[in-house]
Amino acid sequence: MTTYYEEYSKVLVSVDCIIFGFDEGELRILIGRRNMDPGRGEWSLYGGFVNSTESLDDAANRVLFQLTGLRNLYMRQVGAFGNVDRDPGERVISVAYCALINVNDYDVRLQEQHGVKWVSLKEMPRLYSDHNLMVAKAHKMMREKISCEPISFNLLPNLFTLTQLQKLYEAVCGESVDKRNFRKRVKEMDFIEKTELIDKTTSRRGASLYRFNRKAYDDSPNFKL
């Protein structure tokens, strides 16, 4: 291959993943202790370097698969972080990606194997390098999207109750909302379908289980909470 641009310096590029989950009414992200120098032992997002043969998105998907064993996760780019000294080792530019998963889909043994765990956003420790900035930006993106895009369903089981959906919404926004108004808005969206199934695990009475119908959503994508 002909080489162009010879005179310019190259840098390492990595991807770092902000993986959100929702459990026990709390929004959580996956973090682990860094197992390489520099910064060994510090809390950190899970990440990896971008290979020469893969796009940024490919790299993020690979890293996510490595960690979770899951494919086709909902994933969005958060942004590129490129301060010169952001990595104490050497110059590394990192592209942050945000992913949403249903915590039940993520095997606890895989978590232990990779040394990561779910930590509530409210109890987020100080993270390696600029990872707290990445988390903050990802969380901001989520807050902006939660009421106009159907992203919640990536964090919930296929079948979920309206109370779960509402608690998730409240956890992301950081404020509580009126139950009747919330349900009124849900009822407007035909692609959130009530099933005949009842979840009896959280109350004596039991709560109807709902399902997100993506096909119906794609037909008329009007999401508003």
Partner DNA sequence: CCAAAAGTGTTCCGTCTACACCCATGG
Partner DNA sequence: CCATGGGTGTAGACGGAACACTTTTGG
Q: Which residues contact DNA by CB under 7 A? A: 161-163, 178-181, 183-184, 200, 202-208, 224
Q: Closest separation between CB of residue 12 and its own copies, Å?
A: 5
Out of 24, 25, 35, 38, the only residue in the binding site for its own copies (CB under 8 A) is 38
CB 192 within 8 A of CB 225: no
* Tokens encoding 192: 């959130």
Strand order in the sheet with 26-33: 43-44, 26-33, 116-120
Quick one: what does residue 11 bind among its own copies, DNA, none, with the CB cut-off 5 to 8 Å set by partner type? its own copies
CB 11 within 8 A of CB 92: yes
* Tokens encoding 162: 């309206």
Report d(CA 146, CA 170) in Å as an integer. Answer: 10
Partners of 95 in the β-ladder: 15, 80
- Stretch of residues binding its own copies (CB under 8 A), selected from 4-12, 100-108, 112-120, 211-219: 4-12
Between 22 and 106, whose beta carbon lies closer to DNA?
Answer: 22
Exposure of 153 in the CB half-sphere (CA atoms within 13 A): 17
What's CA 13's distance to the chain center, in Å?
A: 21
Q: Closest separation between CB of residue 141 and its own copies, Å?
A: 12
Between 12 and 198, whose beta carbon lies closer to DNA?
Answer: 198
Which x/- pattern, by CB under 8 A, does the window 7-26 give for its own copies?
Answer: -xxxxxx-------------
Q: Closest separation between CB of residue 138 and its own copies, Å?
A: 14
Between 17 and 162, whose beta carbon lies closer to its own copies?
Answer: 17
**Omega into 38 within 30° of 0, i.e. cis?**
yes
* Tokens encoding 190: 């035909």
* Tokens encoding 6: 């010879």
Report d(CA 1, CA 157) in Å as an integer. Answer: 48
90 lies in the binding site for its own copies (CB under 8 A)? yes
Which x/- pattern, by CB under 8 A, does the window 42-81 give for its own copies?
Answer: -------xxxxxxxxx-x-----------------x-xxx
Report d(CA 16, CA 96) in Å as an integer. Answer: 5
41 lies in the binding site for its own copies (CB under 8 A)? no
Quick one: what does residue 25 bind among DNA, its own copies, none, with the CB cut-off 5 to 8 Å set by partner type? none
* Tokens encoding 152: 């919640």
Quick one: what does residue 120 bind among DNA, its own copies, none, with the CB cut-off 5 to 8 Å set by partner type? none
> Which residues contribute to the site for its own copies (CB under 8 A)?
1-5, 8-13, 36-38, 49-57, 59, 77, 79-84, 89-93, 95
